[in-house]
């Protein structure tokens, strides 16, 4: 397939599947809490709705930084789709993209001048301190497989079996990272309801649309990376089943767990990271 | 070739004596990302932070003054360029120099702010960054002493890792952790981000995270676990 067509197709799939999985998560959470919940396509409709709404900009915002940062978030996650499903490039590059995502999340909040955005910005900096150690999972994968290239990791698993059996603690660490990116999760401190919508509070119209598209693609990509590096290359149906299964587990956790205080959230993530790193190295050595 | 298995396909090299800058999608992406953000910082205004006034129902606006704006923007651009340099360099000593420069200008970006809490945080971060410069440069020096080169391209072609390089790697980790203010130092650094001037504090966060990612690549290149 033509490279451009391949990229376009994968980006559209990532956006649609990510949006529907978010809607599915909200449905499951609602059913657990004995509510009917919104339809599964609600998140998708919500995203599209913002493109026909009026775009307004706070007069306190740092222009053009405020506009560019939301647009860049979209570009960053489209790059992740290219590095991941399209060319099966380096996992380290996906880590770099995630690092840029943290920076954009942080500055989308602070650039508006809103105190809610600012609090979300400071929390994003705190959470980076916990999420970056969780990404040590990449080094563990490298120590086990001898490569960071996704295509070669898939080949390794074809010969040696899924990595989830060999380094389960690393898989658990990555799952905690996925959980921290889910809306309503115990670790979602940057978008806690005590600070309205966190860094998105002052983004309206097209800019909010960009942020929501990016979130959907980011969710799809995190699930894709988890399934690919811990289970192996799957068929499209296999990926879909895997993503639905992980989203269901995440929805159960989110529905039954309150959002943690920022300090507790960070300490819990750092604890998971420490146990995961030390445990995985011991598992590799023995 | 370690570089290809860590950073992706090797797109090319620039032979400059024993220093051989190499180009991979990973390095290019990080370099382009750092330059894009630097350009954005150079052309942006700062936000007006709106806070609740104490003892009344009025809002209080916190703005960045023009003199403060100029010096902070200048330092932020230097920091962005140093970050871009740290992403693309193929020489370990140049990398440590760029990281040390990032640490210095990060303190400068925040120390221009007239807020006691922020200045306290910057002071504490400054102490850590100064102490971290010893293991940072010491690590690079030990790599040179034990292998005879600082070129990452040449180090990637080495067949084994001397014990001293492993020790140097530990020093490098300590140095980068202190200079960039990662956990457990990040808790102090986060206080610096309460100040207004969103485009400038972006570069503090950006430089730290990108340097950490690049450090992982460098450590995996100079150490041979297999």
Cα of first residue to Cα of last residue in chain A, in angstroms, is 44
Distance from CA of B16 to the nearest CA of A (A): 26
User: Chain A contact for B210, CB < 8 A?
Assistant: yes
Note whether A256 and A212 are within 8 A (CB): no
Contact state of A143 with B61 under an 8 Å Cβ cutoff: no
Q: What is the pTM of this model?
A: 0.88
Q: Which of B29, B115, B203, B215 to mutate to test the interface with A (most CBs of A within 10 A)?
A: B29
Contact state of A270 with B37 under an 8 Å Cβ cutoff: no
- DSSP class of residue B57 equals S
Residues β-bridged to residue B50: B61
Tell me which residue has tokens 């340099």: B85
Q: Which of B8, B61, B220 sits opposite A89 (nearest CB)?
A: B8
Give yes or no for residue B185 having a pLDDT over 80: no
Confidence of residue A181 (pLDDT cuts 50, 70, 90): confident
Q: Which of B9, B50, B190 sits opposite A122 (nearest CB)?
A: B190
What pLDDT does residue B191 have? 66
User: Chain A contact for B66, CB < 8 A?
Assistant: no
Q: What's the CA gap between B177 and B184, in Å, rounded?
A: 9
What pLDDT does residue B186 have? 56
Residue B201 neighbours by CB under 8 Å, 6+ apart: A107, A110, B109, B110, B192, B193, B195
- CB < 8 Å from A in window 134-173 of B: none
Note whether B210 and B89 are within 8 A (CB): no
- Give the DSSP per-residue string, B175-212: HHHHHHT-TTTHHHHHHHTTSS-HHHHHHHHHHHHHHH
Confidence of residue B101 (pLDDT cuts 50, 70, 90): very high
Contact state of A60 with B41 under an 8 Å Cβ cutoff: no
CA-based nearest residue to A19, from A54, A52, A57, A49: A49
Domain, as residue range, for A237: 3-285
Confidence of residue A266 (pLDDT cuts 50, 70, 90): confident
Q: For residues B93-107, give the mean pLDDT.
A: 90
What pLDDT does residue B98 have? 93
Contact state of A139 with B44 under an 8 Å Cβ cutoff: no
- DSSP class of residue A194 equals G
Q: Which of B59, B213, B223 to mutate to test the interface with A (most CBs of A within 10 A)?
A: B213
Distance from CA of B141 to the nearest CA of A (A): 25
Q: What's the CA gap between A71 and A91, in Å, rounded?
A: 24
Confidence of residue B137 (pLDDT cuts 50, 70, 90): very high
Q: What's the CA gap between A213 and A219, in Å, rounded?
A: 10
Note whether A108 and A69 are within 8 A (CB): yes
Contact state of A64 with B40 under an 8 Å Cβ cutoff: yes
Confidence of residue B150 (pLDDT cuts 50, 70, 90): confident
Distance from CA of B157 to the nearest CA of A (A): 15
Q: For residues A58-82, give the mean pLDDT.
A: 86
Residue A28 or A188, more confident: A28
Taking all residues of chain A, what is their mean pLDDT, rounded to a whole number?
A: 87
Interval B57-98: pLDDT, tens = 888 777 777 887 888 889 889 999 999 999 988 888 999 999
Q: What's the CA gap between A213 and A74, in Å, rounded?
A: 7
User: Chain B contact for A205, CB < 8 A?
Assistant: no
Contact state of B29 with A93 under an 8 Å Cβ cutoff: yes
Taking all residues of chain B, what is their mean pLDDT, rounded to a whole number?
A: 83
Tell me which residue has tokens 């507790």: A264
Q: Which of B6, B194, B226 sits opposite A92 (nearest CB)?
A: B6
Cα of first residue to Cα of last residue in chain B, in angstroms, is 12
Give yes or no for residue A126 having a pLDDT over 80: no
Phi, psi of B20 (to 5 degrees): -120, 90
User: Chain A contact for B77, CB < 8 A?
Assistant: no
Cβ-Cβ contacts under 8 Å, A102 against chain B: 205, 209
Contact state of B7 with A148 under an 8 Å Cβ cutoff: yes
Give yes or no for residue B225 having a pLDDT over 70: no
Note whether A60 and B198 are within 8 A (CB): no
- CB < 8 Å from B in window 37-76 of A: 59-66, 68-69, 72
Q: Which of A97, A118, A132 sits opposite B182 (nearest CB)?
A: A132
Phi, psi of A277 (to 5 degrees): -65, -50
Give yes or no for residue A248 having a pLDDT over 90: yes
What pLDDT does residue A31 have? 94
**What is the total count of domains within chain A?**
1
């Amino acid at each position: 397939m033509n490279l451009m067509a391949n990229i376009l197709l994968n980006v559209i799939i990532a956006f649609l599947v990510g949006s529907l999985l978010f809607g599915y998560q909200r449905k499951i959470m609602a059913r657990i809490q004995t509510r009917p919940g919104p339809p599964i396509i609600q998140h998708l409709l919500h995203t599209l709705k913002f493109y026909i709404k009026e775009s307004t900009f706070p007069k306190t915002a740092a222009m053009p930084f405020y506009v560019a940062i939301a647009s860049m978030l979209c570009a960053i996650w489209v790059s992740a789709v290219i590095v991941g499903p399209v060319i099966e490039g380096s996992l380290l590059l996906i880590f770099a993209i995630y690092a840029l995502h943290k920076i954009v999340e942080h500055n989308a909040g602070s650039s508006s001048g809103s105190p809610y955005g600012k609090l979300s910005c400071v929390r994003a900096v705190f959470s980076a301190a916990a999420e970056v150690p969780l990404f040590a999972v990449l080094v563990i994968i490298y120590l086990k497989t001898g490569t960071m290239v996704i295509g070669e990791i898939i080949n390794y698993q074809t010969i040696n079996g899924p990595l989830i059996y060999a380094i389960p603690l690393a898989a658990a660490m990555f799952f905690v990272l996925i959980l921290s990116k889910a809306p309503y999760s115990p670790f979602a401190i940057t978008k806690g309801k005590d600070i309205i919508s966190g860094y998105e509070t002052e983004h309206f119209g097209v800019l909010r649309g960009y942020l929501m598209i990016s979130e959907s693609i980011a969710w799809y990509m995190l699930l894709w990376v988890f399934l690919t590096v811990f289970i192996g290359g799957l068929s499209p149906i296999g990926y879909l089943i895997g993503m639905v299964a992980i989203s269901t587990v995440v929805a159960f956790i989110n529905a039954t767990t309150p959002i943690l205080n920022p300090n507790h959230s960070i300490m819990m993530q750092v604890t998971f990271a420490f146990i995961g790193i030390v445990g995985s190295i011991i598992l590799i050595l023995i | 070739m370690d570089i290809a298995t860590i950073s992706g396909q090797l797109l090319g090299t620039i032979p400059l004596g024993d220093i051989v800058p190499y180009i991979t999608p990973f390095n290019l992406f990080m370099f382009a990302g750092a330059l894009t953000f630097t350009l954005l910082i150079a052309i942006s205004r700062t936000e007006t932070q709106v806070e609740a006034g104490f003892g009344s129902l009025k809002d209080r606006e916190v703005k960045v003054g023009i003199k403060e704006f100029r010096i902070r923007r200048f330092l932020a651009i230097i920091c962005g360029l140093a970050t871009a340099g740290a992403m693309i360099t193929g020489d370990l000593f140049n990398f440590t120099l760029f990281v040390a420069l990032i640490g210095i200008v990060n303190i400068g970006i925040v120390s221009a702010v007239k807020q006691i809490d922020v200045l306290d945080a910057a002071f504490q971060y400054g102490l850590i960054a100064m102490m971290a410069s010893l293991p940072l440069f010491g690590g690079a020096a030990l790599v040179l002493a034990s292998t005879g080169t600082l070129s990452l391209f040449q180090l990637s072609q080495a067949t084994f890792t001397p014990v001293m390089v492993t020790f140097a790697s530990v020093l490098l980790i300590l140095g980068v952790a202190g200079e960039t203010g990662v956990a457990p130092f990040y808790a102090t650094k986060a206080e610096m981000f309460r100040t207004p001037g969103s485009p400038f504090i972006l570069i503090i966060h950006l430089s730290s995270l990108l340097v950490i990612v690049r450090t992982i690549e460098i450590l995996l290149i100079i150490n041979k676990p297999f």
